[in-house]
Amino acid sequence: MDDWAQSQLMTKVARLYHEQGVTQVEIGRRLNLSQAKVSRLLARARDAGIVRTVVTPPLGLSVDLEDALQARYGLSDAVVVEDPGPGVDPDPDLGARAAPYLEATLGGSGALGVSSWSATLLAAAQAMGRTPGGLSHVVQLVGGHGDPATQMRAMRLLTLLAGATGADPVALPAPGTLSSATSRDALLADGAITPVVGRWADLTAALVGIGSVDPSPMLRESGNAWSENDVRELTRAGAIGDICLRFFSASGQPVASSVDDRVVGIDLDTFGRIPRRIAVAGGANKVAAIRGALLGGWINVLVTNRGTAEQLVD
Higher pLDDT, 221 or 189: 189
Confidence of residue 218 (pLDDT cuts 50, 70, 90): confident
Q: Is the pLDDT of residue 123 over 80?
A: yes
User: Over the stretch 95-112, which tens digit does the pLDDT of each residue have?
Assistant: 999 999 998 888 778 999
Could you write out the three-class secondary structure of the chain? Answer: CCHHHHHHHHHHHHHHHHHCCCCHHHHHHHHCCCHHHHHHHHHHHHHCCCCCCCCCCCCCCCHHHHHHHHHHHCCCEEEEECCCCCCCCHHHHHHHHHHHHHHHHCCCCEEEEECCCCHHHHHHHHHCCCCCCCEEEEEECECCECCHHHHHHHHHHHHHHHHHHCCEEECCCCECECCCHHHHHHHHCCCCCHHHHHHHHHCCEEEECCEECCCCHHHHHHCCCCCHHHHHHHHHCCEEEEECCEEEECCCCECCCCCHHHECECCHHHHHCCCEEEEECCCHHHHHHHHHHHHCCCCCEEEEEHHHHHHHHC
Ordered by start, the domain boundaries in the chain are 3-47, 63-313
Residues in Cβ contact with 298 at an 8 Å cutoff, skipping those fewer than 6 apart? 243, 248, 252, 268, 271, 272, 277
Query: Angle at Cα 141 formed by Cα 140 and Cα 144, nearest 5°?
Result: 60
Counted residue by residue, the chain has a size of: 314
- Amino acid symbol at 79: V
Q: Which CATH class for the 63-313 domain?
A: alpha beta
What integer best gives the mean pLDDT of the chain? Answer: 90
User: Over the stretch 22-69, which tens digit does the pLDDT of each residue have?
Assistant: 999 999 888 788 999 999 999 999 999 888 877 666 656 688 999 999
Nearest by Cα to 77 from 278, 291, 274, 271: 278
The answer to whether 213 and 240 are in contact (CB under 8 A) is: yes
Distance in angstroms (rounded) separating the CA atoms of residues 203 and 224: 24
What angle, 0 to 180 degrees and rounded to 10, lies between the N-to-C axes of helices 287-295 and 306-313?
60
Least confident of 85-99, 192-206, 270-284: 85-99
Q: Is the pLDDT of residue 2 over 70?
A: no
User: Over the stretch 256-314, which tens digit does the pLDDT of each residue have?
Assistant: 999 999 999 999 999 999 999 999 999 999 999 999 999 999 999 999 999 999 999 98
Tell me the CATH number for domain 3-47: 1.10.10.10
pLDDT, position 314: 86
